[in-house]
Amino acid sequence: KHDVLTTIVVFGASGDLAKKKTYPALFHLFQQKLLPKRTRIIGYARTQMTTDDFNKRVTSFFKPSDPADEVAAFLEICEYVSGKYDVDEDFQRLREEIDTNEHAMNKRESDERVHIYYLALPPSVFVSVGTQIRNNVYDGTCTNRVVIEKPFGHDLDSSRKLSQAIGGLFAEDEIYRIDHYLGKEMVKNILALRFANVFYEAVWTRHYISNVQITFKEPFGTEGRGGYFDEFGIIRDVMQNHLLQVLSIVAMRQPKSLRSEDIRDCKTEVLRRILPIQLEDTLLGQYVGTRDGSKPGYKDDDTVPKDSITPTYAQCVLHVDNDRWRGVPWVIKAGKALDEAKMVIRIQFKDMPNALFPNLARNELVLQVSPKESVSIKTIVKEPGLSTNLAMSELDLSYHKRYQDLKIPDAYATLILDVLNGDHSNFVRSDELDEAWRIFTPLLHQIETEQIVPLPYEYGSRGPKGVDEFPTERAGYKPTAKEYHWEPKSA
Ligand code: BG6
């Protein structure tokens, strides 16, 4: 909608998230001419800054190759306002600034107007800023959208309190809870794959699928974020949100339509059928420094308490208790300071139910979310040539090979575009969030009250002892022969 008179206020504009994600994403949309013609972006934060300092800050994560004239044109539509997060007058000034800008953009009576409030803020000030917006900035004569980022509480109780407080200020359809995994290309692709191809949906049940693994690996530790991380741990940081969101899209039934509420209804329906995770179904780890001392351990981080038992690695088995999935284990795995960067969804099919060919390996559908997007199906063929043996091969779609010059936008650009379009499909609804916490809270509390000590693993390794055996023992995963190896291809 190119003619909507649009104001975007980025709260926390001097912070990390704003400079690393929000502003680069806004600039990307600006370059692609996807921001409405009349758009004004106001950064708001406590720090006093000159325009110059502000401009330097918000462009510090732009690419060196970004043309200077485009950057300059983008900065023309940006400005900075400094103010406290709890002072009425400061927010009244912000409101005046918005009004002044709208007049400067030739506001007409008949204009459709949108105000987007992007809270790139720590949760401790969510409610105070929300209250200020509601009391001093909110404009009932236009559309208002509030964008918030995790952490949404740290367990079911605290999340409900936060939801209630925010729900008292804004209507659910004004709230956009970001889970940036929902903006990733391959995650958005799941619905298309499943519901636009007859052969996937046909086998998408416990009758054909043996187990599913959703894996998140990062090759670096907490590096400077230890203070935040230690309060949360890997389960809250990555699993309760990103991995569970992905799981719900893989497991959901076909929605009635592509309307956002139909999609979110189906995701929530799946979450409702997931049983709370048991401690016995969990493997926990924490990284230690490398033997040669080149990489630090988690507890060597100055911002982490020396006796911390916060997990930086976890594997959990989940069960979706419905007719489609009963008996199929879902393993979610996540870890920091591992041997590689990777996010993969691996769906392993059951053994072939005939004995024509004995000892077959299993088919797998593998969706690689990052780094190199790909879809592949491990497929058995006759070994080519005179041999009559069988061989493991693959039907593969490597995005960067198949789509020349492909530039996959950052998840934040996709999601902000959705906010501009008023599309909630890729945002988390409050009942979804509630279910996600219901699934993890008993486990998190048990880990904390019983002080469960995670197993050590070396920085840069595959994880703690048992990582590879866990999916086999707990979920019936059959590994493919070690000789078989396939990597997504580049251009
Ligand atoms: C964030 C977590 O939500 O996701 C980080 O807080 C993690 O700890 C990040 O590094 C991973 O996102 P991406 O897009 O780099 O895979």
Q: Are 228 and 304 in contact (CB under 8 A)?
A: no
Catalytic residue among 180, 242, 319, 424: 242
Q: Tell me how far the alpha carbon of residue 304 lies from the centroid of ligand 1, in angstroms.
A: 19
Q: Which whole-number Å values give the CA distances from 160 to 132, 418, 430, 435, in the listed order?
A: 21, 26, 9, 11
Half-sphere exposure of 326 (CA within 13 A, CB side): 3
Rounded-to-integer distance, Cα 23 and Cα 62, Å: 9
Q: Are 39 and 74 in contact (CB under 8 A)?
A: no
Sequence-ordered list of residues with C-beta below 8 angstroms from that of 406, at least 6 positions apart, any chain: 399, 400, 491
User: Alpha helix locations (H) across 134-259?
Assistant: 156-167, 185-196, 198-202, 226-234, 244-251
Q: Tell me how far the alpha carbon of residue 328 lies from the centroid of ligand 1, in angstroms.
A: 27
As beta bridge partners, residue 468 has none
Q: Which whole-number Å values give the CA distances from 142 to 2, 174, 284, 306, in the listed order?
A: 16, 12, 48, 51
Pocket test for ligand 1, best of 220, 237, 243, 373 (most atoms within 8 A of CB): 237
Closest residue by CA, ligand 1 atom 2? 237
| pTM attached to this predicted model | 0.96
Q: Are 74 and 30 in contact (CB under 8 A)?
A: yes
Phi/psi of residue 374, nearest 5 degrees = -160, 160
Rounded-to-integer distance, Cα 312 and Cα 327, Å: 29
Closest ligand 1 atom to Cα of 225: 8
Q: Tell me how far the alpha carbon of residue 220 lies from the centroid of ligand 1, in angstroms.
A: 11
Give residue ranges with CB within 6 A of ligand 1. 180, 218, 237-238
Closest ligand 1 atom to Cα of 181: 14
Q: Tell me how far the alpha carbon of residue 470 lies from the centroid of ligand 1, in angstroms.
A: 24
242 is catalytic: yes
Q: Tell me how far the alpha carbon of residue 107 lies from the centroid of ligand 1, in angstroms.
A: 39
Closest residue by CA, ligand 1 atom 7? 238
H-helix or E-strand spanning residue 413: helix 411-421
Q: In which residue ranges of the chain is pLDDT below 70?
A: none
Q: What ipTM, to 2 d.p.?
A: 0.95
Q: Which of 216, 279, 181 is nearest to 463 (CA)?
A: 216
Q: Are 319 and 275 in contact (CB under 8 A)?
A: yes
How much is the pLDDT for 277? 97
Closest residue by CA, ligand 1 atom 13? 181
Rounded-to-integer distance, Cα 291 and Cα 206, Å: 44
Pocket test for ligand 1, best of 61, 180, 215, 236 (most atoms within 8 A of CB): 180
Can you list the positions of beta strands (E) in 101-221? 113-119, 143-149, 175-178, 209-217
Q: Are 184 and 301 in contact (CB under 8 A)?
A: no
Closest residue by CA, ligand 1 atom 8? 237
**In terms of DSSP bridges, do strands 113-119 and 329-335 run parallel, antiparallel, or are they unpaired?**
unpaired
Rg (the chain; Cα; Å): 24
CA dihedral 177, 180, 184, 188 (to 10 degrees): -20
Closest residue by CA, ligand 1 atom 6? 237
Pocket test for ligand 1, best of 229, 234, 242 (most atoms within 8 A of CB): 242
Q: Tell me how far the alpha carbon of residue 170 lies from the centroid of ligand 1, in angstroms.
A: 27
H-helix or E-strand spanning residue 421: helix 411-421
